[in-house]
C-alpha cells in the first residue's frame, strides 16, 4: 500500500485543528510559559449563540485554521498579554463581522478590503500569502486548463478572493472563455452532476487534490507567480476605521499581531508540538508547510503583488477601483 500523500495528511491536520477551534478548546501551553492572564484566554466562536460581549470590549477576529497558529498561539496562551476578546470563525463570517463593525481587528480577505477600503486600515507587514505553491487553493479539472474553453467551472460562494483570482487567470493568462456556477463541490462528486472542473479551497482542496477523476491540478498561487513574477496575498489584517476614529486603542494592535507572529515563527518547535497532537504530518512536513508554503509578511514584494492584483481587478471591473493602501498608525 502506498504511503499517504502529503495533501491527505495535511487535510487531516487541518480538519483536526479546525474542529478543535470550533469547540473552543484552549491550546496547551509550553512547559515554561507563564499562566494565562487578563483577557488573553477569553475566546468564543463567532457561530455560537453565546451572549454578546460587553460594549467596551475590544474584539479580535481569528480564523480557525492551521496557517494562523503561529500568530495567535502566543496571544491565546497568555504568553503575550493583551486586552482583546478573541472571536473565532470562518473567514467569510469574520469578513461580515468586520464590515458591520463588530470586530476591531481581524484577518480579512483582500477582496473585502478592496470593496470597502474606507472602513479599514491595513496592519503593516502582516498577511497570509504565498510565493509559490500554497497547496490549498486549487483548480481541479478533468482536462488541461488550456482546454477548458467553453466548459463550466464549479466555484464556491464562500471565497471571493480565490474566485476573483481564478477569473483573472482564466481570462487574461490562459485566455479561456469559461462559464461559472456556484455550488458545493463534494456532494456532486461521483454522480452525474460532477463538474468538468471545480475550484477547491482550504481543507476541501487538501482532501480532494489527488482525486482520481480530476488528474489536472492548478495551484492558483503558483499560477499567479508564474504569470506575474510576484507573490500572491490572499488575506491581510485590518483595523476598524470606526475604532480608530473613536480612539479605542490604548496600544498598537498591529504591533501586537506582529509580535505574536514573530514569537510563533521563532518558536516553531512549540508550534510543531501543538500541531503534532493528533496530526499525522511529520515535523519535517509541517516545517515545510509553515516555512515554504506560506508567507506571513507584507513587505515590498508582497505589496507589489497585492497592488497588481487590485489593478487587474479594477481593469476587469470586479471592484469599483484600485483601493488606496491605507495603513494603521497610532
Cα(152)–Cα(256) distance, integer angstroms: 44
- What is the side-by-side strand order in the sheet with 105-109? 43-45, 84-89, 58-63, 105-109, 232-240, 120-130
Nearest to 260 by CA among 14, 27, 24, 16: 27
Burial of residue 308 (number of CB atoms within 10 Å: 0-12, 13-18, 19+): middle
| Fold topology of 137-228 | D-Maltodextrin-Binding Protein; domain 2 (3.40.190)
The SS3 assignment for 205 reads helix
Where in the chain are the domains?
Answer: 6-131+232-315, 137-228
Range 6-131+232-315 classified under CATH 3.40.190.10: yes
User: pTM here?
Assistant: 0.83
Cell of 128: 497570509
Cα(91)–Cα(97) distance, integer angstroms: 10
Domains 6-131+232-315 and 137-228 share a fold: yes
Average pLDDT of each block of 10 consecutive residues along the chain (330 residues)?
Answer: 41 47 36 40 50 69 87 96 92 88 94 95 97 90 97 89 96 97 91 94 80 96 97 96 94 97 96 75 77 93 98 97 95
Cα(93)–Cα(158) distance, integer angstroms: 9
pLDDT of 171: 97
Amino acid at each position: 500500500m502506498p504511503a499517504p500523500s502529503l495533501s491527505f495528511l495535511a487535510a487531516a491536520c487541518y480538519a483536526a485543528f479546525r474542529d478543535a477551534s470550533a469547540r473552543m478548546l484552549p491550546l496547551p501551553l509550553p512547559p515554561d510559559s507563564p499562566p494565562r492572564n487578563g483577557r488573553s484566554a477569553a475566546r468564543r466562536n463567532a457561530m455560537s449563540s453565546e451572549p454578546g460581549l460587553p460594549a467596551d470590549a475590544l474584539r479580535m477576529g481569528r480564523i480557525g485554521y492551521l496557517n494562523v497558529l503561529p500568530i495567535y498561539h502566543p496571544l491565546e496562551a497568555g504568553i503575550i498579554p493583551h486586552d482583546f476578546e478573541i472571536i473565532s470563525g470562518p473567514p467569510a463570517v469574520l469578513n461580515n463581522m468586520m464590515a458591520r463593525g463588530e470586530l476591531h481587528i481581524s484577518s480579512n480577505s483582500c477582496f473585502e478590503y478592496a470593496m470597502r477600503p474606507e472602513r479599514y486600515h491595513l496592519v503593516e507587514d502582516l498577511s497570509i500569502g504565498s510565493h509559490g505553491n500554497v497547496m490549498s487553493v486549487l483548480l481541479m479539472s478533468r482536462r488541461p486548463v488550456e482546454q477548458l474553453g467553453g466548459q463550466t467551472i464549479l466555484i464556491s460562494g464562500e471565497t471571493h478572493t480565490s474566485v476573483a483570482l481564478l477569473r483573472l487567470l482564466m481570462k487574461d493568462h490562459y485566455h479561456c472563455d469559461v462559464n461559472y456556477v456556484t455550488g458545493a463541490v463534494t456532494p456532486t462528486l461521483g454522480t452525474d452532476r460532477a463538474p468538468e472542473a471545480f475550484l477547491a479551497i482550504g481543507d476541501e482542496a487538501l482532501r480532494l487534490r489527488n482525486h482520481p477523476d480530476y488528474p489536472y491540478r492548478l495551484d492558483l498561487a503558483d499560477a499567479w507567480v508564474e504569470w506575474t513574477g510576484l507573490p500572491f496575498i490572499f488575506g491581510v489584517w485590518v483595523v476598524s476605521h470606526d475604532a480608530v476614529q473613536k480612539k479605542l486603542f490604548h496600544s498598537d494592535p498591529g504591533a501586537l499581531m506582529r509580535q505574536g507572529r514573530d514569537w510563533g515563527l521563532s518558536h516553531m518547535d512549540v508550534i510543531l508540538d501543538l500541531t503534532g497532537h493528533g496530526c499525522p504530518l511529520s515535523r519535517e512536513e509541517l516545517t515545510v508547510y509553515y516555512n515554504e508554503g506560506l508567507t506571513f509578511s507584507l513587505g515590498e514584494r508582497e505589496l507589489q503583488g497585492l497592488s497588481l492584483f487590485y489593478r487587474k481587478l479594477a481593469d476587469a471591473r470586479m471592484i469599483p477601483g484600485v483601493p488606496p493602501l491605507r495603513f494603521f498608525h497610532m
